[in-house]
Structure 1
Amino acid sequence: MKILLPFDGSDSSYKALGYVKEFVAGMSEYEILLVTVQKTFMPTPPDRPYIEIMPDDFVAETIMHHEYGRVHLNLLSDALKYLNGFSHSRIRTYVGFGHAADIILEMSELENLDIIIMCTHGMGAARRFTLGSVTDKVVHHSATPILILR
């Protein structure tokens, strides 16, 4: 099972991490794709607006020196600490560049996901209308099954 888990460091995203820990318990085959998204531009390969971050990867060093890169690498590091005890060979970490919903939708198409697990942030209807909702957009445009947690 290939699972996409968007992570932004909020209480809701930690809740989703906790759920994923329970969700994969007992599964013999799974892969968790953990993604955090920054809105600033960063050069990425032309075929996708996100990059995989590997330990000791030169690209990670490049991001670390970018204005917001350190924040996103720290978010991924915190998420991995929370998932301590999981085989890191089953967790892949990514930083996306652009709007979160667009990155999630693109990853769902390009990575052949089985499910997206994400939380809502509990916006009211008026705020969601003016700001847009990542979860709302993903739900309405994804062909991949989505599990939404509140």
Structure 2
Amino acid sequence: MESSGGEAAAEWKVAVAIDGSDESLHALGWGLRNVLSSTAPNKLVLVYARPPPPFMPTTDTSGYLFTDEDVATMEQYSQDLEKSVLAKAQAILQPHEHVKVDTKVATGDAREVICDTVERIGADMLVMGSHGYGFVKRALLGSVSDYCVHHAKCPVLIVKRP
């Protein structure tokens, strides 16, 4: 594809934040159908924020000592969750072979991981789902999508699940 100046069009890089929820997977599918072109050069970057390990002092308030086995079990759960989320995304991506896909996984607060990743990769757009929290839940829990709308260094498209 060429732009009006005769040079080849740059690759369109779209980041999609996924967390395994129905809302994020719907946003991924919607973005594939409505944002990415089947004729222009595209690159889709899946962004998954792995939850940070829980803070675990050597003992909890009851004096329980966390063993290496406990810590390993929690780490294994985190890895299994990551694999499950990425497998769900791959199932949605399968019919879209024309799209180049990259995956970025980082550990930390989802809001910061998503915004930092989008900036680092130079995304042209961020697509993400909305859990549809009302005002009170959003005020108490915070909203990842609201944070990204205000802090991401690219346009953000919030896809609401019907």
TM-score clears 0.5: yes
AA of the residue aligned to 1:142: A
* C-alpha distance after superposition, 1:88-145 (max 9, x if no partner): 8711112220011101110121100000001111001111111110001111112211
AA of the residue aligned to 1:90: K
* C-alpha distance after superposition, 1:4-37 (max 9, x if no partner): 1011111111211211221224232011111221
* C-alpha distance after superposition, 1:25-56 (max 9, x if no partner): 42320111112212225xxxxxxxxxxxxxxx
Counterpart position of 1:146: 156
Checking the alignment, whether the CA contact within 8 Å between 2:128 and 2:157 is kept in structure 1 is yes
Which runs of 5 or more residues in structure 1 are unaligned?
Answer: 42-64
**TM-score between the two structures when normalised by the length of structure 1:** 0.77
Counterpart position of 1:105: 115
Percent identity between matched residues is 30
Counterpart position of 2:80: 70
Counterpart position of 1:95: 105
Deviating above 4 A after TM superposition, structure 1's stretches of 4 or more consecutive aligned residues are: none
Out of 89-98 and 138-147, give the one that drifted further.
Answer: 89-98
AA of the residue aligned to 2:133: M
| SS in structure 2 at match of 1:149 | strand
Out of 137-146 and 89-98, give the one that drifted further.
Answer: 89-98
Find the structure with the greater CA-based Rg. Answer: 2
> Are 2:40 and 1:28 aligned?
yes
| SS in structure 1 at match of 2:76 | coil
Checking the alignment, whether the CA contact within 8 Å between 2:36 and 2:42 is kept in structure 1 is yes
Measured in 2, the distance between the counterparts of 1:88 and 1:113 equals: 19
Which runs of 5 or more residues in structure 2 are unaligned?
Answer: 1-11, 54-74
Checking the alignment, whether the CA contact within 8 Å between 2:42 and 2:99 is kept in structure 1 is no
Q: How does 1:1-150 map to 2 (within 5 A)?
A: 1-22=12-33, 23-41=35-53, 66-87=76-97, 90-150=100-160
AA of the residue aligned to 2:132: G
Checking the alignment, whether the CA contact within 8 Å between 2:13 and 2:42 is kept in structure 1 is yes
Measured in 1, the distance between the counterparts of 2:51 and 2:81 equals: 12
AA of the residue aligned to 2:104: Y
AA of the residue aligned to 2:39: M
AA of the residue aligned to 1:11: D
